[in-house]
Amino acid sequence: MAGAPSLGEFEQVVLLAILRLGENAYGVTIGAEITACTGREPAPGALYTTLERMEDKGLISSRLGDPTPQRGGRAKRYFILNSKGLAAITRAQQSYRRLLEGCELPGLNYA
Amino acid sequence: MHRTHIAEWILGLVTSRDRAASTVGDLVEEASPRGVVWFWSGILRIAASLLWRGVAENPLRLAGVAFIGLAVDVLASLLVATLSGLVFFFAARSGHQLQGNSVWWTIGLDAPTLFLSLWIGRMLARWAPGGELSACLAYGILGSLFSLVMMFVAPGGLGNSALIRVFLSDLLQRTPVLAGAVWGRHRTLAAR
């Protein structure tokens, strides 16, 4: 996993949301998943800029779905994690876990 | 819906066409319960965020492009000022009285300035393919900094009102540059 790029907090949140959603990860569902899990609604500017940046960095890739009338005839762009993205999020979460080991937080036990 | 085509055009200025289309599709899907204001604020915030991303990810390159654009602007403005000074000088020597505030004189001075600004916008777009409007933003920031520095170097009525005047006149002068950059962006997209 050496060489995996370091991730910012919001990048990790977006990658985890994509991972949770599996095949149904596109802009609307990613935003909704982040809101449901964190209680914070992501700003559209931050979400789409992060998705574009991570795609350019090769952390995620996208494919276009079929156009739907509900969206004014525009296709959904579905995102999936690439191996590079998976390596980066794994490394980031391992670092968090190591930091949490031995810490006592209310409602959490990582000892 | 006509408005979505405008939204797609705005986002298409700062990202690829297919990304712009799918992003607008997402916002259309979410806009029905949230309303028009939410839709447009979303479009403008995404566009601003993508525009700034272009500057933040290549600051040195875009600063270089903006600096060259600004240098061309300053040199050409000096040339226009020199030429107009020469016209006044020779007219005065030959006994003609030129009206500096006449319509024709204003058009004669403003037309080359307008054309120059459009051309600079077009050049910025050519020098920064894929980041045409980000280059224009970098040019605007550098130009405003330059104006501020010039105000302190050669103060003429320095004060809050002067600062606001400089800011507003800068904003007006940048509009044709922005139009030139948008034109360049369309040329880039058409060439793909």
What ipTM describes this predicted complex? 0.89
| Contact residues, chain B, for A44 at CB < 8 Å | 27, 42, 45-46
Query: Is A71 a member of any domain?
Result: yes
Question: What burial class does residue A28 get, using C-beta atoms within 10 Å of its C-beta: 0-12 exposed, 13-18 middle, 19+ buried?
Answer: middle
Residue B83: the pLDDT is 85
| Contact residues, chain B, for A30 at CB < 8 Å | none
Contact A53 B53 (CB under 8 A): yes
**Degrees, nearest 5: CA angle B62-B64-B65:** 65
User: CA B172 from chain center: how many Å?
Assistant: 9
State the residue range of the domain holding A59.
9-100
Q: Which amino acid is located at B114 in the chain?
A: L
Is residue B172's pLDDT more than 80?
Answer: no
Shortest CA gap B22–chain A (Å): 6
SS3 B3: helix
A57 touches B at CB < 8 Å: no
Contact A64 B15 (CB under 8 A): no
Query: Is A69 a member of any domain?
Result: yes
Q: What is the pLDDT of residues B103-119, one digit of tens each?
A: 777 777 778 888 888 99
B24 touches A at CB < 8 Å: yes
Contact A44 B22 (CB under 8 A): no
CA dist., res. A91 & res. B14, Å (int): 32
Q: What is the pLDDT of residues A14-49, one digit of tens each?
A: 999 999 999 999 999 999 999 999 999 999 999 999
List, as ranges, residues 67-86 from A with C-beta within 8 Å of B.
Answer: 67-68, 70-72, 74-77
CA dist., res. B136 & res. B53, Å (int): 13
Is residue B163's pLDDT more than 80?
Answer: no
CA dist., res. A62 & res. B170, Å (int): 41
CA dist., res. B171 & res. B182, Å (int): 16
Contact A76, B25 (CB under 8 A): yes
Query: Is A18 a member of any domain?
Result: yes
Strand partners, A109: A104
Of B21, B45, B50, the CB nearest to A43: B45
Q: Per-residue confidence at B78, pLDDT binned at 50, 70, 90?
A: confident
Highest mean pLDDT among A17-26, A91-100, B115-124, B133-142: A17-26
Kindly identify which residue of chain A lies nearest to residue B42, measuring between CA atoms.
A44
Q: Per-residue confidence at B100, pLDDT binned at 50, 70, 90?
A: low
% of chain B at pLDDT higher than 70: 88
CATH number at residue A61: 1.10.10.10
Of B1, B23, B57, the CB nearest to A27: B23
* Residue of higher predicted confidence among B112 and B2: B112
Query: Is A19 a member of any domain?
Result: yes
Q: Per-residue confidence at B2, pLDDT binned at 50, 70, 90?
A: low
Contact B53 A75 (CB under 8 A): no
Strand partners, A75: A67
Q: Per-residue confidence at A82, pLDDT binned at 50, 70, 90?
A: very high
What's the total number of domains in chain A?
1
- Tokens representing B59? 């600051």
| Contact residues, chain A, for B131 at CB < 8 Å | none
Q: What is the pLDDT of residues B21-75, one digit of tens each?
A: 999 999 999 988 888 999 999 999 999 999 999 999 889 999 999 999 999 988 9
Q: How many CA atoms lie within 13 A of A107 on its CB side?
A: 0
Region of A3 please: left (phi>0), alpha (psi -120 to 50) or beta: left
Is residue B159's pLDDT more than 60?
Answer: no
Is residue B127's pLDDT more than 60?
Answer: yes
Of B18, B25, B42, the CB nearest to A44: B42
Which of B11, B47, B54, B25 has the alpha carbon at shortest distance from B189?
B11
Helix axes B59-93, B132-153, angle to 10 degrees: 60
Contact B46 A27 (CB under 8 A): no
Which residue reads 């009102």 in tokens? B161
DSSP string, B18-39: HHHHHHHHHHHHHHHHH-HHHH
Name which of A21, A24, A48, A50 to mutate to probe chain B: the one with the most chain B Cβ atoms within 10 A of its Cβ.
A48
CA-CA-CA-CA torsion for B68, B69, B71, B72, nearest 10 degrees? 120
Quote the pTM value. Answer: 0.83
